[in-house]
Structures are given as C-alpha cells and as structure tokens.
Amino acid sequence: MPDPFDFSGRTVVVTGGSRGLGRAMALGFAERGASVIVASRDAGSCTAAVAEIEALGAKAWAIAVHVGRWDGLDGFAEEAWAKTGRVDVLVNNAGMAPTVARSTEVTETLFDKTVAVNFKGPFRLGALFGERMKAAGGGAIINVTSTGAVHPEPSYAVYAAAKGALNIITKAHALEFGPEVRVNGIMAGPFWTDIAKTWREEADRTSTAAVKRIGRPEEIVTSALYLASPRSSYTTGSILTLDGGLR
C-alpha cells in the first residue's frame, strides 16, 4: 500500500516558516517529499530556510509576506499558486505573543497588530486558500493556535483571545470548505523556540506538565503530517492539543 505520509508531488505553504515551529514543519514536510513555500516577514530568513530544504533534495520557494497586512494577502495567495500550480496544504503558523504587565499598557496599535497577525491574517489566508483548494478538488489547512486560548493569563490576554478566535474559525472554515478541504488546528503549549528564549529555560525546569518539560520544535511535526495526510480523512474542524499534558 502507498505510504500515507509520502507528500511527493504535493505543495505545502508554511507561514512563519523560517524559524521555530514553522521551520520544523517545513523541514518535516520536505523530508517526506513535499515542495515547500516558506513565508515570513524576513526575506533573508526565508531564503536561508529554503536553502536548508533544498539541501534535503526538495523544491522550495521563499515569499516574504506580513500576514497581519490584509491588503498583501491576496497577492501572496496568487504568487503561491503561480509558483507551484497548486497548493495542497496551508499551515497558518505565523504569530506573535507580546506580553504586558497590565492591560492598560496595551496600546491600540499593539492590540490591532496582535489580532492581525494571530487571527485576522490566518482567517483571510484560510478563506483565500480554502476557496482555491475546494475548486481544485481538495486540500488541508492547519491553524497553529495556542493553549493560551483555554488557559489565558493577564499578561497575554489579547494574544490568547486571538488564538481562541482562531480555534472558532477553524471549525467554521471546516464547515464552509468541506468536504473537499479539511481544516484543523494544533493548539500548542510552550515550546523551546527562539521567541521563547527569555523564559524557556525556566519553563522547562519548572514545568508542571505530565512530561515535566516544554516541547521541542520537532515534536510538532508528526501532528502536522497526520493532519495533512489521508490518514486523517475523518478529522476536520478539530483542535489537537499538543502540550505534554499541561495542567
């Protein structure tokens, strides 16, 4: 029987794909034969990630895009499809998680930027890619959300709210674009990434999760592969919690 996790001949788009969880997933799909579009705000880091993927023998492209800027996302979708002819998987991974001491410190600019990157952009990309995938006969969308959505803290309340909204949109888009397109979420707990460098060591040492540590980027890969593969054909509108048994 064919390997259900063989992504040869398929194209995967990963936003925020140049570092952290996005980079791990981009490399994971490439190792399974996929062609990968790496997207992030930093063109240089996209190019570096593409070089890593090409070193694995896979095709890759770099596209610089700011997912929080609505007016640039139509062009990004057009470019992605023009480069590859078809997109089979979209991983909405790009995000930002600013923290504040109290809510009165949140400016309108910071509020709008946090919502734009973590919710508005993924919503728009899900809509754009979902329609194209449905018209093309199929596809999968994976939204990377956060356990902050169900365990919010005052210091990152806006981020948590945006990720909670993304959980809701995951279900709504699954209903809108199904059955051809499946839409699921990975609700990630704390991971050892560069954006967590100010707190990751302490969190790793003091974790109350069942595994007594925080996650490593490579540990998200199999979840993404599953949700993008035929093995999850009955899984849509679901949010997979990936937090090591966090309390």
Q: Which residues does the annotation mark as catalytic?
A: 159
CB proximity list for 105: less than 8 A, separation 6 or greater: none
Under a CB-based contact definition with an 8 Å cutoff, are residues 117 and 124 in contact?
Answer: no
Backbone angles phi, psi at 49, to 5 degrees: -65, -40
**Which amino acid is it at 22?**
G
In one-letter notation, the amino acid at residue 178 is G
Q: Are 174 and 183 spatial neighbours (Cβ–Cβ below 8 Å)? A: yes
Q: CA 187 to CA 182: how far, in whole Å? A: 16
Provide the angle, in degrees to the nearest 10, between the axes of the packed helices 157-177 and 121-136: 20
Which residues contact residue 90 at a Cβ distance below 8 angstroms, ignoring those fewer than 6 apart? Answer: 12, 13, 15, 125, 126, 129, 133, 139, 140, 141, 142
Using an 8 Å Cβ cutoff, are 124 and 146 in contact?
A: no
